[in-house]
Amino acid sequence: MREKRIGRGLISLSQGDITESSADAIVNAANDHLWMGAGVAGAIKRKGGAAIEKEAVAKGPIPVGEAVATGAGALKARFVIHAAGMGQDLRTSEDLVEACTRASLRRAEELKLRSIAFPAIGTGVGGLPPEGAARRMLRAAAGHLQGTGSLERIGFVLFTEADLRAFEAALGDAG
């Protein structure tokens, strides 16, 4: 795991299964209608239960680049924050990934959370190169920790080694 202290908190990187994270909230790489099909969303639904999707869909659709929070069902986390990084066209961009990262951080602050764990948003179904996602997500995280708020730890739980390497390379430039 790599860590970097920035402002009032810590950014950490690890490789693994985000559904096993014990952060206060985990982030779901979502679509704007908040249906939970494949990738991170599918894993969260399988492990946490269908109630997560039911609650999320009831709050949607939401604008691409926004985020909503739901309960976390049977997961270790208390909340799932659904970050809409793409619409029904299943396309994303670095700008959208950064926007939904920032929106997720705002939802975590509204809930007064101390920790949050993100996947590499947009790098799976969205097809975004991990280097771009890493750069923009870490920029949003580092900027957030420069201000005031309850979040003390922003983790990135990356499923693939390629994603981990991209985030490790970008972490040096963050903050």
Per the structure, how many domains does the chain have?
1
Range of the domain at 113: 2-171
Which range, of 25-34, 94-103, 124-133, 135-144, averages the lowest pLDDT?
A: 124-133
Bigger pLDDT: 173 or 18?
Answer: 18
What is the mean predicted confidence (pLDDT) over 87-105?
Answer: 94
What local confidence, expressed as pLDDT, does residue 80 receive? Answer: 98
Q: How far is CA 116 from the centre of its chain?
A: 8
* Contacts (Cβ under 8 Å, ≥6 apart) of 103: 65, 66, 67, 83
Instruction: Summarize pLDDT for 112-138 with one digit per residue, the tens.
Output: 999 999 999 999 888 999 999 999 999
What is the mean predicted confidence (pLDDT) over 90-101?
Answer: 95
Residue 96, domain CATH: 3.40.220.10
What local confidence, expressed as pLDDT, does residue 90 receive? Answer: 81
Local structure of residue 14 (DSSP, 8 states):
E
Q: In this structure, which amino acid lies at residue 39?
A: G
Spatial separation of the C-alpha atoms in residues 70 and 51, rounded to whole Å:
9
% of the chain at pLDDT higher than 70: 99
pLDDT band at 175 (very low <50, low <70, confident <90, very high): low
Q: In this structure, which amino acid lies at residue 118?
A: F
* Contacts (Cβ under 8 Å, ≥6 apart) of 85: 29, 30, 31, 64, 65, 92, 96, 97, 100, 121, 122, 126
Q: Is the pLDDT of residue 30 over 70?
A: yes
What local confidence, expressed as pLDDT, does residue 60 receive? Answer: 95
Look-up of token digits 């959208």 = 96
What local confidence, expressed as pLDDT, does residue 1 receive? Answer: 59
Q: Is the pLDDT of residue 32 over 80?
A: yes
What local confidence, expressed as pLDDT, does residue 39 receive? Answer: 87
What local confidence, expressed as pLDDT, does residue 125 receive? Answer: 83
| Local structure of 34: helix, strand or coil | coil
What local confidence, expressed as pLDDT, does residue 163 receive? Answer: 95
Q: In this structure, which amino acid lies at residue 69?
A: A
Between strands 115-118 and 153-158, the pairing is parallel
What local confidence, expressed as pLDDT, does residue 172 receive? Answer: 85
Instruction: Summarize pLDDT for 55-90 with one digit per residue, the tens.
Output: 999 999 999 999 999 999 999 999 999 999 998 888
